[in-house]
Amino acid sequence: MAYSDKVIDHYENPRNVGGFDKGDADVGTGMVGAPACGDVMKLQIKVNPATGLIEDARFKTYGCGSAIASSSLVTEWVKGKTLDQALEIKNTNIAEELALPPVKIHCSILAEDAIKAAVSDYKAKHGDVAAQAGSTQAA
């Protein structure tokens, strides 16, 4: 199966690979897995407490090229966004941007789930009880 140029670009030059200290109060961590293939994605956001904006993001993905490209792409997309704006990122946006074929849609769902889990984790750390329930589900 052929990957699109954008997938190959992100796969060969992944943006924002790495991680932040999980214990940092400004950091939200999302860790999700795809039951279909066993791939795992860790995505972290760093929020500026003064502005409430996501100022940085990192990922580590053990998975296929599309999963790596999806996570690389969303780390770019979330920067400069509020938490609520980050939650608006849909897997369909990712799949469209990367021109993912139908069998690779679940890879983009993984990236959407990872962002949601990272935002929930951040909110839970800051006393959002509803988010806490959400992050327990995600974990």
Catalytic residues: 37, 107
**Tokens linked to 49:** 């407490």
Name the residue among 60, 94, 101 with its Cα closest to residue 77: 94
Size of the site for ligand FES (CB under 6 A): 12
Identify residues 29-68 at the interface with ligand FES (CB under 6 A).
34, 36-37, 39, 63-64, 66-67
**Tokens linked to 64:** 């296929």
Among the residue ranges 5-13, 18-26, 91-99, 103-111, the one whose residues contact ligand FES (CB under 6 A): 103-111
The contact pattern for ligand FES, residues 62-101, with x = CB under 6 A and - = no contact, is -xx-xx----------------------------------
DSSP 63-119: S-HHHHHHHHHHHHHHTT-BHHHHHT--HHHHHHHHT--GGGHHHHHHHHHHHHHHH
Contact residues toward ligand FES (CB under 6 A) are: 34, 36-37, 39, 63-64, 66-67, 104, 106-107, 110
